[in-house]
């Protein structure tokens, strides 16, 4: 998500004068896939953040990558008696189709691609990052040099972690700031009518220390009889909950119980939609802290989950990635034009992101 959008924004703002190469370890048929289990996400993004892309680089999304509209998010207390509305319309995305569309858009803006390449380390020279080295699918070495590199490789980034030059970028994330999280894409028969458990019009978040300790659980509609349902927990929170309740649950068993105990969802089965194939069920991780205090150094910038951008409250990371990529794309295009990709030359990304969304 964040890499494809940043690349498109650099292409747009440089009027295609900057040569941009996107490296993805996936094949061209499966761009943006997070893990072998798919494009694991709750899939919800606000209309406002999607609109920020159109406003900045004139790309407008529609069906099929925007799968289902919603009017907002209701957040419920454990007894479902207290609720708070996060106002604002949004969409449930098809995360498998969205990157395919984004690859097409980026190509139209002159962006080049190399698929099947795993980036393993940053290449440094004279105090600047000047490229990446890695391997292709057959294990053959790969190296590309550039004026600068953007790390958009998600929550398991090794590039940020082993950044070889001095910088203010925090390399490590505290384990307590990483949530284990998972979800399923399900079709179901309507059970009890209860809009605190399912409504096609709103996303629902359930805060409950027994169901999702130190995290949250969600029921996000993808149609009248389709749902993205899952939850996230912190490891210490799960340990505390298990010891309090004398149980030995893990992430998957908590998700199974959460689905089973939803009275509105009956006969749940994995989505049969061909556009969900290979993406029906999976667990992954998401950082839940403030974003990295500094996101640039000489010849290098970080973005998205690699920069710890998801909101701590609900792990929403797509909105932040959309805002940040529009800002970073513009800053990179300008820095390359000015021939100054130093930390100072890229600093506007830090300040503009903070003023626009990061605060
Ligand atoms: C279960 C779950 C639910 C979530 N729910 C929501 C939600 O409802 N709304 C929301 O806004 N956010 C949600 N998020 C967070 C959101 O999915 C992320 O914030 C978002 O995908 C971040 O985008 P990204 O581009 O930074 O990273 P990613 O989407 O993780 O993309 C990283 C890309 O880099 C590739 N890559 C990784 N390492 C390498 C390497 N070494 N070399 C080459 N390529 C590499 C990956 O294969 C992938 O293509 C959720 C996350 C999870 C796990």
CB 218 within 8 A of CB 203: yes
pLDDT tens for residues 284-311? 999 999 999 999 999 999 999 999 999 9
Residue with the smallest CA separation from ligand 1 atom 18 is 317
pLDDT band at 313 (very low <50, low <70, confident <90, very high): confident
Distance 245 CA to ligand 1 centre (A): 32
Nearest atom in ligand 1 to the alpha carbon of residue 39 is: 29
Distance 311 CA to ligand 1 centre (A): 13
Distance CA 114, CA 62 (A): 27
CB 219 within 8 A of CB 208: no
Q: What is the CB neighbour count within 10 angstroms for residue 334? A: 16
Ligand 1 pocket (Cβ < 6 Å) reads 1-3, 23-26, 32-34, 40-45, 118-119, 152-154, 158, 181-183, 230, 284, 286, 304-306, 310, 315-319, 321
Residue with the smallest CA separation from ligand 1 atom 27 is 154
Residue with the smallest CA separation from ligand 1 atom 28 is 154
Nearest atom in ligand 1 to the alpha carbon of residue 120 is: 41
Distance CA 40, CA 49 (A): 20
Distance 229 CA to ligand 1 centre (A): 17
Distance 40 CA to ligand 1 centre (A): 8
Distance 273 CA to ligand 1 centre (A): 22
Residue with the smallest CA separation from ligand 1 atom 2 is 41
In this prediction, residue 16 carries a pLDDT of 82
pLDDT tens for residues 209-264? 999 999 999 999 999 999 999 999 999 999 999 999 999 999 999 999 999 999 99
pLDDT tens for residues 154-195? 999 999 999 999 999 999 999 889 999 999 999 999 999 999
Helix residue ranges, H only, 82-184: 97-108
Nearest atom in ligand 1 to the alpha carbon of residue 230 is: 1
Torsion angle (degrees, nearest 10) of CA 225, 87, 53, 101: -10
């Amino acid at each position: 998500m964040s890499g494809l959008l940043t690349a498109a924004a650099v292409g747009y703002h440089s009027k295609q004068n900057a040569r941009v190469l996107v490296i993805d370890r996936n094949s061209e048929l499966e761009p943006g896939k997070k893990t072998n289990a798919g494009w694991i996400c709750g899939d919800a993004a606000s209309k406002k953040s999607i609109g920020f892309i159109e406003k900045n680089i004139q790309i407008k999304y529609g069906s099929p990558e925007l799968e289902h509209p919603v009017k907002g998010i209701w957040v419920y207390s454990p007894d479902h008696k207290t609720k708070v509305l996060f106002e604002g319309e949004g969409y449930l995305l098809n995360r498998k189709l969205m990157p395919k569309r984004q690859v097409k858009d980026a190509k139209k803006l002159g962006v080049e691609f190399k698929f099947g390449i795993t980036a393993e380390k940053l290449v440094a020279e004279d105090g600047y990052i000047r490229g990446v080295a890695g391997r292709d699918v057959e294990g053959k070495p790969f190296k590309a040099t550039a004026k600068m590199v953007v790390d958009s490789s998600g929550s398991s980034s090794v590039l940020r972690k082993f950044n070889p030059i001095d910088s203010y970028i925090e390399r490590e994330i505290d384990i307590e700031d990483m949530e284990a999280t998972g979800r399923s894409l399900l079709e179901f028969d309507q059970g009890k009518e209860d809009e605190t458990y399912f409504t096609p019009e709103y996303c629902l978040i359930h805060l409950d220390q027994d169901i999702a300790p130190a995290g949250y659980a969600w029921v996000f509609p993808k149609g009248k009889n389709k749902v993205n349902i899952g939850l996230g927990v912190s490891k210490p929170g799960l340990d505390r909950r298990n010891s309090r309740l004398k149980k030995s649950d893990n992430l998957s068993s908590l998700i199974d119980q959460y689905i089973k105990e939803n009275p509105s969802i009956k006969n749940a089965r994995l989505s049969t939609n061909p556009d969900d194939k290979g993406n029906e069920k999976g667990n992954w991780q998401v950082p839940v802290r403030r974003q990295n205090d500094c996101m640039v150094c000489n010849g290098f910038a970080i973005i998205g989950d690699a920069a710890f951008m998801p909101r701590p409250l609900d792990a929403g990371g797509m909105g932040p990635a959309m805002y940040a990529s529009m800002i970073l794309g513009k800053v990179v295009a300008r820095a390359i034009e000015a021939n100054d990709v130093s930390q100072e030359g890229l600093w506007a990304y830090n300040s503009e992101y903070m003023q626009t969304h990061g605060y």
